[in-house]
A and B are shown apart, each in its own frame.
Chain A
């Protein structure tokens, strides 16, 4: 069966510090991968998605970046965090069939607080 891992679960970082959140998927090949951010009481905001190694699409201009160095690994990074980067970060995967995404499976999330 497929599983998705995210770490760390919680993170408190000062403004201006770097960030690296990691997501890995097991039990499937060539998944579509996604990074979302969820502010308190808000919906999910799509940040990045990837349909293959090294292929990253950005949805929201910001000081965040994403990379996919391996088929089942997705990394979210920042060189300098802003207060507005605080939120609940979720990684998700879906089965990619010729680019059509179906239901998404989410990781446990990372609660990021920038102080």
Chain B
């Protein structure tokens, strides 16, 4: 079955640095991959979607890469701020497009 792996350990970085989060997947080749942000006690918020034929996608300080050979996506936040502290979830669509499966997320802490 499809499996998504995100680093379960929290990532601690200093304000102003670039945060890089990793998402690996196995047993599948998704047509697209998504990243969401989740704050404690809240529902996830959609950030970016990248398709299999796109190598990179940017939105303001966010950048996502998608390597279908490595079966990996990297999520970067440049010039990180304490307000970026949250859990970031990777998600991929399942064949048929009706379903999306989510990784467990990586907790990011940005220290001032």
Contact = CB atoms under 8 A, between A and B. Distances in A.
A109 B42 contact: yes
A43 B42 contact: no
Contact of B102 (A44, A59, A102, A111): A44
A52 to B, nearest CB: 11
Contacts of B102: 36, 43-44
A66 interface: no
A41 to B, nearest CB: 8
Contacts of A109: 41-43
Contact of A49 (B4, B99, B103): B99
* Contact-residue bracket for chain B: 20 to 34
B45 interface: yes
A112 interface: no
A51 B99 contact: no
A46 B89 contact: no
Contacts of B104: 41-43
Interface of A: 32, 36, 41-44, 46, 49, 51, 57, 59, 88, 90, 92, 99-109, 111
27 contacts: A32-B98, A43-B89, A43-B102, A43-B103, A44-B102, A49-B99, A59-B99, A90-B43, A90-B44, A100-B97, A101-B93, A101-B97, A101-B98, A101-B100, A102-B49, A103-B34, A104-B44, A104-B46, A105-B46, A106-B43, A106-B44, A106-B45, A107-B43, A108-B42, A108-B43, A109-B41, A109-B42
